[in-house]
A and B are shown apart, each in its own frame.
Chain A
Amino acid sequence: MGVKLLLDKAHVPGIRSYEVYRREGGYAAVEKALKMSPNDVVEEVKKSGLRGRGGAGFPSGMKWSFLAKPEGVPRYLVCNADESEPGTFKDRYLMEFIPHLLIEGLIVSSYALGSSRTYIYIRGEYAWIPDILEQAIAEANANGWLGKNIMGTGFDCQIYVQRGAGAYICGEETALIESLEGKRGNPRIKPPFPAVKGLYDCPTVVNNVETLAAVVPIMNIGGEAYSKIGVGRSTGTKLISACGNINKPGVYEIDMTISVEEFIYSDEYCGGIANGKKLKACIPGGSSVPILPANLLLKTAKGETRYMNYESLSDGGFATGSMMGSGGFIVLDEDQCVVRHTLSLARFYRHESCGQCSPCREGTGWMEKILHKIEYGKGQMSDIDLLWDIQRRIEGNTICPLGDAAAWPVAAAIRHFRDEFEWHVLNPEESQTRNFGLAHYADPREVVA
């Protein structure tokens, strides 16, 4: 069993309630933080090496230290609970089962940043979770952890829950801010960055649910101790939501020293591939990151073991690696069709593009159309090159990273599974009824030399 810092108490009966959470040591992090200066709390987070858990992995302490502090202007902390990246369902788990952990993290972080009005922006479809969070907020208020002059420090803070209404793009931080202001979720052009001009044009920090929850153990054990868990620049623990063709889909807290192989095959985690099938491919960090065939997933191109951490998952760059992303771990077994899965993701991005930039708006539509043609046996060889060309023209040419996020899965699918695309073109009458199979990218453990 690895170290658990976030979900260690998630299964204590009644942990959703304030009494049980407090009895289990809850709100000690707030007590500790309020005795320190806000800057010292920021320093502690810096020392921990914590990296943003929303997908980009940007060092959180550094992000906090960029927050502008002009006199007389309010500052805002916004918690990103939009969680809409396909494959990702960890924030939901945390909020549903241990809501006070997030609230506690928000209070500490609000204090560090000087936010007296803190918002949790949660995706609209999680319609039952605001009640759980509001209950926890009410309990925190009743016990003096929120409100005016908290614990006699002179710090005022209130937390509000805002529901979105169905738009993946509102997970992008500037779109989220627009949405919170009551507008369409169109990402803003950066700069200015939210740290300078965010919500209501005031300095704003947007952080993921898991990032803010991790501030609690950082306060409790200290930034230094937190930074010693894990490996290299992958410090602390990470929540992974595992799904697809595995025996035990679910949310797992890992310390980032375990190998991908252990994560997939050990009974403590995914429990192996479902129905006795073989592993074909995996998208290890949410739908936006490159798909990897089994052979490159378990071992890097250099033949070294691949581990479940930021550095190792991206070893080899996009040519032979992928990314940690949001921790949405999607596993495909030998019966799955990579073209079909890529088509499904392309449709997702076309649907979710906000439409502001032509390369993204038009490009996502074209990628879906061409993939549809290939999948349904109407494609030509030249379509594969066309698809490659379109994705290349989207990447880097848009206002927000959704364009890249739409391009990468298509690029990676062609890069590693080109023969499967070609097979669809060459066998149009079979493209729906028979599967391409495993070919050369089988799990190296299954290959008998």
Chain B
Amino acid sequence: MTFSEEQLKKVQEIIARYPEGKQKSALIPVLHLAQENFGRWLSAESMDYVASLLNLDPIEVYEVATFYSMFNLKPVGKYILEVCQTGPCMLRGSDQIIDYIGKKLNIKPGETSADGLITLKTVECLGACGYAPMLQMGKHYHEYLTEEKIDLLIEHCKENQHLVK
């Protein structure tokens, strides 16, 4: 589990954003990079590798990785549907959306579908309250959700799963 030449260059670019000797600041950006490239979650092995790259003690990496909700500390599906469940989304039907996805995939929030394709996660306000209900998949937001849109999205995941490592 190591970064490619190109990814290592990116790490150097990130470190250069901070003053001399402050490379610990690069930790969160580099953990994002690790999660994106090492199977969408952070294993102990990935975190130790990041520690060695930034010259940090492994514990400094663990304590950060465990604090932030975007870092997955367990294996996840090829796609993660992160549905916002906070008040403003709830007012516009997020509970029903979460139920619908759960029933359709036969899983509860926090679980991954039996075929390993989709993880359902409930999350707190993502800053899309006016376009509710909504979910995040990868980098993107899907807003004004309906059951039909969920069907299409899951169809899309099935059709494109071979593209995801």
Residues of A within 8 A of B (CB): 74, 83-89, 91-92, 117, 119, 123-128, 160, 162-168, 179-185, 200, 241-245, 249-251, 287, 328, 330, 332, 336, 340-341, 344-345, 348, 351-352, 354
Contacts and interface: CB of A to CB of B under 8 A. Distances in A.
A340 B48 CA distance: 42
B117 interface: no
A278 B86 CA distance: 22
Given A182-B26, A200-B22, A351-B124, A336 B70 contact: no
Interface in B50-87: 60, 63-64, 67-71, 85-87
Given A165-B69, A181-B25, A182-B24, A332 B91 contact: yes
Interface of B: 17, 19, 22, 24-29, 31-32, 60, 63-64, 67-71, 85-88, 90-92, 123-132, 136, 138-140
Contacts of B92: 243-245
Contact of A165 (B32, B130, B139): B32
Nearest to B70: A166
Nearest to B69: A166
Contact of A352 (B63, B124, B126): B124
Given A124-B68, A200-B19, A200-B22, A165 B28 contact: yes
A117 B17 CA distance: 8
B149 to A, nearest CB: 17
A180 B17 CA distance: 11
Nearest to A342: B87
Of the listed residues A74, A244, A330, the one surrounded by the most CB atoms of chain B closer than 10 A to its CB is A244
A117 B18 CA distance: 8
A128 B142 CA distance: 13
B76 to A, nearest CB: 14
Contact of B127 (A88, A185, A249, A332): A88
Contacts of A180: 25
A438 to B, nearest CB: 16
Contacts of A89: 127-130
A127 B139 contact: yes
A126 B139 CA distance: 8
B127 A123 contact: yes
Nearest to A245: B91
B16 to A, nearest CB: 9
9 contacts: A84-B125, A124-B68, A165-B28, A168-B124, A180-B25, A200-B19, A287-B87, A330-B87, A351-B69
Nearest to B61: A182
Contacts of A91: 127
B69 to A, nearest CB: 4
Contact of B29 (A88, A163, A249): A163
B129 A166 contact: no
B88 A181 contact: no
